Structure 1
Amino acid sequence: MTDAFTAPGRFFRGNLHTHSTLSDGVLPSAEVCRRYAAQGYDFIALTDHFIGLYGYPVADTRPFRGAGFTTLLGAELHSGAMANGELWHILAVGLPADFAPGHAPDFAPAEGQETGAAIAARAAAAGAFVAIAHPQWSGLTLADARGIEAAHAVEVYNHGCAVGSDRADGFGIADLLLTEGRRLSLIATDDAHFTEPDHFGGWVMVKAEENAPEALLAALKAGRFYATQGPELRGVALDGDAVEVACSAVSTVIVQGRGSAAVACHGAAMTRARVPLGRCAASPWLRVTVIDAAGRRAWSNPIWR
């Protein structure tokens, strides 16, 4: 992945997974965008459920763009069935407004519909940034995840799934795919429906030269971002036999690698840490987690060695 911390530009805060009254959210699109802008977000992707029940919506949020706030068109795609018999959930951010529907009349698998892998590939070919949504909540198997070859990312934290079912995690699937050589990035999102406190809990910080849809989308595809619940990452770099981390004040810095490999550094209000690779030295990839005194986390994208 391209290094977000040395690339030109600045970081922009964005949510990549949100719903409105165009599908099963409770707020109109304009109000969802207004709330995110008021909360200090730089951009949002409204990703309503792309099924026939709701008329296959790709929300037109272009009218809600303004000074300091922009939007990316997108949808949460559904098709085929996973191993557990339930419908696929695949995020597609940067979809064209006229993205062709498949055959997904509702939230149940239908005879003859395209597979999840096929609709993900169609979305990527149409220019979208594609992510495997909420693996733990979906009951995703590793074999399921392997099949989505067009994915750019795995949703590793989903705030709505944390609040509503305590199934927010995607790291188990992500780390196994990384170990198999898949060069994936890691996103945190809200999946906000505004039916419960499922908003403003997880986001991405994207490094781009301007807060414009094309620049943000290119940065997402290149992995120039990190995911967070609040802490800031200001630098993550491999330096010989250690990883150098700069961040906002945190209590823990962890470097993770293949299998059980991990090395942790603990302290008080740390803003810099040099973490020796130790058991991570043989891993082909590394990633970093920081944890602040309130238990909030931020996660780097993988570093490939």
Structure 2
Amino acid sequence: MIPSAFTASGQFWRGNLHTHSTNSDGVLAPEEVCRRYQAEGYDFLALTDHFIGLYNYPITDTAAFRGDGFTTILGAELHSGAMKNGELWHILAVGLPSDFAAPNSPAFSPVDGQETGPEIAQRARDAGAYVAIAHPQWSGLTMDDARSIDAAHAVEVYNHGCAMGCDRPDGFHTLDLLLSEGRQLNLCATDDAHFYEPDHFGGWVMVKAEKNETEQLLTALKNGNYYSSQGPNLHHIEIKDRQLHVECSSVSAIIIQGQGSAAVAKHGHSMTKGQIGLGRFDASPWIRVTIMDAAGKKAWSNPIWCDEFK
């Protein structure tokens, strides 16, 4: 069994899915944001400004900044309704149409009568977007909150801006519990860059597609044909005879996680291949893979459902 990210045709393209500009609360103009990501070697970018009335509900048009091997996907960070803690929902939507209808969200506080978070997330997915539950730890998201977003394709498990700005970057606890409840979700790492602190070039996705084109990238994201990274590269994952085989860039650890406390790690020096038995995961409905390099930078596979290889 080989996960689809490693069987799909094409090559891996590096992109950031969560970014802000002066069209909302970022400090750089959209053109400069795109220029910097391209200069840093990214293949694509989604500029996801805050979709609220305070900023005139922007879906930033970045089409003019495509070219020379660099492309963009339109998107936004959506806000509507209150979470359990009373704060406004934050939902990442990549691949929105430019005419996506605005909610009644005048500012960063909930108001009576507006769409709920689950409703605006569903509307975004119905409009063709890849939808992710944004920065669960930063938001103070409860499991009841997370369960309510039926439209999500993924959970944002690493947010570099939240790592640098408040040391709350994590979404793995939320993801793992949802997986164990049977939710078929993927994961993503992002920047959430605003450029007023070192919140950029720290987390990204590597998307497998034949061409670096908006629709192909978006389809691959929805199909889970990607992995997420802070630096290391995953070249191949295969499960055969109850063994997981990994090929990757040079790392010091290969770790498999599953339901509850189930985990197995292989440690070494400059490893580019690894093999780990899966007996520890007999009771787990899912596994996922983490690799970590000598500097502590990680890359993460999407979850693999065990009924696909048991």
Structure 2 length-normalised TM: 0.97
CA–CA separation in structure 2 for the residues paired with 1:40 and 1:132: 26
CA–CA separation in structure 2 for the residues paired with 1:177 and 1:145: 8
Which residue pairs with 1:217 in the alignment? 218
CA displacement at 1:214 relative to structure 2: 0.3
Say what the alpha-carbon RMSD is for the aligned residues.
0.9
Deviations 1:108-158 (A, max 9, x none): 001110100000000000000000000000000111000000000000000
CA–CA separation in structure 2 for the residues paired with 1:115 and 1:299: 31
Note if contact 1:263-1:278 (Cα within 8 Å) is conserved in structure 2: no
Deviations 1:253-301 (A, max 9, x none): 0011111100000000000000111322221111000010000000000
CA–CA separation in structure 2 for the residues paired with 1:145 and 1:123: 17
Structure 2 counterparts to residues 170-209 of structure 1, below 5 A: 170-209=171-210
Note if contact 2:3-2:237 (Cα within 8 Å) is conserved in structure 1: no
Deviations 1:68-124 (A, max 9, x none): 000000000000000000000000000000000010000000111010000000000
Match of 1:4, SS?
Answer: helix
Note if contact 1:10-1:208 (Cα within 8 Å) is conserved in structure 2: yes
CA–CA separation in structure 2 for the residues paired with 1:46 and 1:278: 43
Note if contact 2:74-2:95 (Cα within 8 Å) is conserved in structure 1: yes
Letter in 1 for 2:244: V
Structure 2 counterparts to residues 1-305 of structure 1, below 5 A: 3-305=4-306
Letter in 1 for 2:61: D
CA displacement at 1:6 relative to structure 2: 1.4
CA–CA separation in structure 2 for the residues paired with 1:66 and 1:174: 35
Structure 1 stretches of at least 4 aligned residues deviating more than 3 Å after TM superposition:
none
Unaligned runs of 5+ in 1: none
CA–CA separation in structure 2 for the residues paired with 1:3 and 1:284: 18
The number of aligned residues is 305
Note if contact 1:241-1:281 (Cα within 8 Å) is conserved in structure 2: no
CA–CA separation in structure 1 for the residues paired with 2:191 and 2:201: 6
Note if contact 2:97-2:127 (Cα within 8 Å) is conserved in structure 1: yes
Bigger drift between 260-269 and 235-244 goes to 235-244
Structure 1 length-normalised TM: 0.99
Letter in 1 for 2:277: P
CA–CA separation in structure 2 for the residues paired with 1:102 and 1:287: 36
Note if contact 1:2-1:223 (Cα within 8 Å) is conserved in structure 2: no
